[in-house]
Chains A and B, each alone.
Chain A
């Protein structure tokens, strides 16, 4: 530890600081205009180290992927300010450049230095997913983008406020470059409000405890997280474990893209080496280096869920990403489909880690966000766009079967209710159901994926899908079976058809009465199918999770001898 701090003050301060970040989250959720922040909580807040930008404390209610990625956003600002040499109290930087700050261009990052007695104490940051940031497609999910410029306007770190004075010029530029300026302005105000609150609360905390004590506590919390992580790693065997999985394609060329990891544990350290991963692609399934590191963090947090959310956790872990790979794409390579790539990264980390720590790791979840959009013009000429992400099965674990129809590991967002969608758009769901036979077999099977069949109720609609897992199934671990793959069908005069690129397609024409059907993947299984209690197999058959023939194929006939 860098300074002596009594353990009780530390415990109290840990709670207080985490709570300030939580309050900042709550403030933005309440104030944000756009539902992506207000409802799906696609935002995050925290405190970051004055010189390294490392995460010191982050709120608990924001989006999981931001937990690791925000440090890079702060570091980008630190570098920019160092270059210019003009960092001042009351400055607030703003940017969305994903190659500097991770994730994608929709995420607007605000970074504010915090000074105490004339000294830089730490940074506060706020990130939130804005509804629209320009680019070729409203909402910025452009599967045919080959450059960042087609995805959104790109803003590098610039001073939104200088010495406490808001630079209206910057706001004017921002508002001229979004299709939804009112929404953007509301979100921006919310983020500024959250930062103001953070400053006020931090002032109070430092008044109460003194800057030195709080500073010592922040150091100690990082050290403590590191100690916890090292103690967890020491409990695992030394060795090297590999896993590989594939993206179906980049949306442009139909070629599978390997994502490969070698996980090494030496004593109390871990290396995640992604050597062997596909090179940067023309289509938008690339991610920037900060996103790759943040994703490793998300995977590690899922494996060790009780660890605190600060940079100390990552100190014993080295993430190696090969240059030129799709995990370290340089500007202006498109990154709009980053969600699919990071989900696959998490999958391979789980598959590799499950060999080292089988009791800690769950099998692969469904592994795609399935961004499905259906749009058209109503009879009265009004344009409509229904855009949503769809759920699938989670992986089995040592303690239970996987969750049926869950959300993606990188998110905590819920799905809109069917009735809300039907009320807002001319569609009718013929099915909103679990997908039988989709679970990966195992001692603890995966969770079931879902079937959504959506009929269009007006003429001349068009659908597009950005998904994955159409060619490669979610993997089981410890001998567990794979979940079912993602299957997309669309109705045409000739009958049901499937996309040539399996999981991605643009411009599907639909007429009134035609439908699309999305059968989402189930989760992978945990442990060999032969170890599953026949009683549970019989129950799955009785409940219709599993058809009798497949049950016998996967689990043998023992289940037929028992009653459910």
Chain B
């Protein structure tokens, strides 16, 4: 039982990362994702590297099952029971619109209006119960939803964050009669002020519950049947892992599970390699995902919109997506300007060069025409070869002829515009957070990112890039690295001066007890257990709160009450850091308490991934003509995984490995570090 297995199921491939803690070795595998039942590919991928599942201590899974169910609107038929007068909150949103310009488009919530039922009850903002919940009405509503064949239900009552009593009674009544476990309740899922965000998160949880818990249970059974007797865990959007029972209860926390694991791995790899500040860029078929890691910490955002009107409020690793992936289509508009995306050929039919029916040029086609991608050995192994001529024709027809450019010029133009958009996303993500991107390293991962490294370094003015040894399986590696983590929130909404610190302590203790119970139930070993407490605070009159880290004293697992002075000082420090100045005589308010309970899992030694032996000359496979800037360059090709530690390669060069092509532009140099990462730097000018 010494093996840890990380599995990331993506749209096209299922990636597996196997770490053997006893031997200190790591293996990777990449197999096609199976549909509709992903457990086929899941087990097949593990089976490529593990003969006997009983040797596996833990399987950790980053999943897009929840994301896809939300995006494709393939969740369950569900119902809602809510406060009289509020049945339309989910549909009214926060009075936004899908796009700034055009005023088109409508919105369909995941629960239709006739399955959103109101019951008499009302709690006021101060927690006073104005109208006790009418339990007969609740039961009648539940029966109506059961009769309508709803598979899950969400209980959404006004101000339940301030006093959950009405909601708790309603939920108890519904659970007693509901035919399955799928009853979600807003004060259990998110006891935080703001009804739309709380209701939306809770309703989406219910919407996912039948689908995601079914999926997890299928995988669990298949693993068990294969002889697995270890622990099965799921990655959450916050980058921590949770047990499968928690995942089945809170499937909404998997909404961004897959990409989060990738960022966790990126952070660990970068930090180990000596880069505390790194911006990651994951280039897939349709999108380029950017995340920022400062001082080793990935940024968490408190909420996200999965789609218009589909808000999930849970801490999530902040990932910004732009529509510039390998499959993004290049086109010239009526004003004569070259555009990339947002339309994408995705992976099916894919770029023109795939020969699967698309005839409009993509970013990948430009890379193929410029010979940056080897047409004879396409990534992933699905195709025998790429059709360079078809890609060239498409570029001529749709871009070259319209702009008066040769094929090669047009292909370079497509890359310049695509690179400029990616660089723009990196700049904006860092600026919005108040960071200067020039002080970060860039880490490409995913299949395509490493083709664009040089351009991004140049465009953004970044000094170096770090390409992980296995960029195509970064998310799967992240599964093995991620800590176990539970987040809790409770709205307090009290002036700091009149705060009941003992009551605050009690809530903190409840959070800590809940988190510790989950850590205790886990079979993982933890190196350490951390408790992170934050308060959302603001001056009275402000709506934006500041996240205030609150130092707490914990004796064993018993937390001590903070003093009002502690809280005031912590606020001043955080506010000063955010806004640069304090408000004289401002009255301070504590809006929410947030507690994270983290079980630190042992980090494996990344030197296990480093190449053993090898030589630069032995890794060389030949040369080919590759186009950079305005001319063709004789470019040396290396098998990347055969390069030894310390190898130094001057650009132009191409480093190939089964799932990635690393491009070293002229004027750049690549070096293999002690962990097998490739560090790319700009040559002195």
The residues of A with any CB-CB pair to B shorter than 8 Å are: 7-8, 10-12, 14-16, 19, 22-23, 26-27, 30-31, 33, 35, 38-39, 60, 64, 182, 186, 224-225, 227-228, 231, 301-302, 305-306, 308, 362, 365, 390-391, 394-395, 397, 399-407, 409, 412, 414-420, 422-423, 428-434, 447, 450, 453, 457, 542-545
Contacts and interface: CB of A to CB of B under 8 A. Distances in A.
Contact of B416 (A12, A423, A544): A12
B337 A414 contact: no
A415 B95 contact: yes
Contact of A420 (B97, B102, B193, B583): B193
B56 to A, nearest CB: 46
Contacts of B99: 305
Interface string B58-92: 00000000000000000000000000011111011
B178 interface: no
11 contacts: A8-B412, A26-B431, A30-B434, A182-B584, A305-B102, A362-B103, A404-B107, A405-B95, A407-B96, A407-B97, A417-B194
B92 A405 contact: yes
Given A182-B584, A305-B99, A403-B97, A417 B197 contact: yes
B113 to A, nearest CB: 4
A10 B417 CA distance: 10
With a 10 A CB-CB cut-off, give which of B107, B337, B431 has the most chain A CB atoms: B337
Nearest to B100: A412
A38 B544 contact: yes
Contact of B334 (A7, A19, A227, A402): A227
B493 A423 contact: yes
B403 interface: yes
Contact of A404 (B91, B94, B98, B161): B91
Nearest to A223: B335
Contact of A228 (B96, B113, B333, B543): B333
A395 B424 CA distance: 35
A76 B103 CA distance: 32
Contact of A417 (B196, B337, B542): B196
Contacts of B98: 403
Contacts of B431: 23, 26-27
B125 interface: yes
B307 interface: no
Contacts of A33: 542, 579
Contacts of A403: 97-98, 103, 105-107
Contacts of A400: 104-106
A542 B95 CA distance: 24
Q: Please tell me the size bucket of the interface on B.
A: 35 or more
A420 B543 contact: yes
A417 B94 contact: yes
Given A38-B544, A227-B336, A405-B91, 12 more contacts: A11-B420, A16-B420, A31-B579, A38-B543, A231-B335, A405-B95, A416-B543, A417-B195, A417-B196, A419-B194, A433-B87, A543-B114
Nearest to B421: A15
Given A362-B104, A422-B125, A26 B428 contact: yes
B124 A7 contact: no
B432 interface: yes
Chain A's interface: helix, strand, loop or mixed, by majority?
mixed
B85 A431 contact: yes
A423 B125 contact: yes
A429 B335 contact: no
Contacts of B427: 19, 23
A24 B253 CA distance: 34
Contacts of A27: 431
B124 to A, nearest CB: 6
In the A-B complex, list the 8 residue pairs whose CB atoms are closest, starting with the nearest.
Answer: A305-B101, A305-B102, A391-B95, A224-B335, A414-B94, A422-B125, A415-B95, A431-B85
A227 B107 CA distance: 34
Given A391-B95, A543-B114, A544-B113, A423 B103 contact: no
A38 B333 CA distance: 34
Nearest to B424: A19
A11 to B, nearest CB: 5
Contact of B85 (A227, A416, A432, A544): A432
A7 B413 contact: yes
Nearest to A22: B428
Contact of A397 (B85, B103, B162, B420): B103
Interface of B: 85-89, 91-107, 112-114, 122, 124-125, 130, 158-159, 161-162, 193-197, 333-339, 403, 412-413, 416-417, 420-421, 424, 427-428, 431-432, 434, 493, 542-544, 579, 581, 583-584, 586
B495 to A, nearest CB: 12
A497 to B, nearest CB: 21
Nearest to B198: A419
Given A12-B417, A419-B125, A401 B195 contact: no
Find the residue from B87, B106, B158, B193 having the highest chain A CB count within 10 A: B106
Contact of B106 (A402, A412, A457): A402
Contacts of A301: 101
Contacts of A429: 85-86
Nearest to A545: B113
Contact of A26 (B107, B333, B432): B432
B94 to A, nearest CB: 4
Nearest to A363: B103
A11 B417 contact: yes
B193 A417 contact: yes
Contacts of B96: 406-407, 412, 414
Interface centre among B103, B493, B543 (most CB of A within 10 A): B103
Nearest to B195: A419
A308 B339 CA distance: 13
A383 B87 CA distance: 32
Contacts of A423: 125, 162, 193, 493
Given A412-B97, A417-B195, A422 B413 contact: no
B428 A419 contact: no
Contacts of B434: 30
Contacts of A422: 124-125, 159
Contacts of A23: 427-428, 431
A471 to B, nearest CB: 24
A286 to B, nearest CB: 25
Nearest to A434: B88
Nearest to A131: B541
Contacts of A35: 542-544
Nearest to B87: A433
A384 B581 CA distance: 27
Contacts of B88: 405, 432-434, 450
Nearest to A225: B335
Contact of B161 (A60, A397, A419, A542): A419
B411 to A, nearest CB: 11
Contacts of A450: 88, 92
Contacts of A399: 104-105
Contacts of A362: 102-104
Given A420-B193, A432-B85, A543 B106 contact: no
Contacts of B334: 227-228, 231
A8 B122 contact: no
B417 A8 contact: yes
Contacts of B337: 7, 10-11, 14, 224
Contacts of B86: 418, 429, 431-433
Contacts of B93: 405
A370 B142 CA distance: 37
B461 to A, nearest CB: 9
B302 to A, nearest CB: 14
B428 A543 contact: no
A308 B196 CA distance: 34
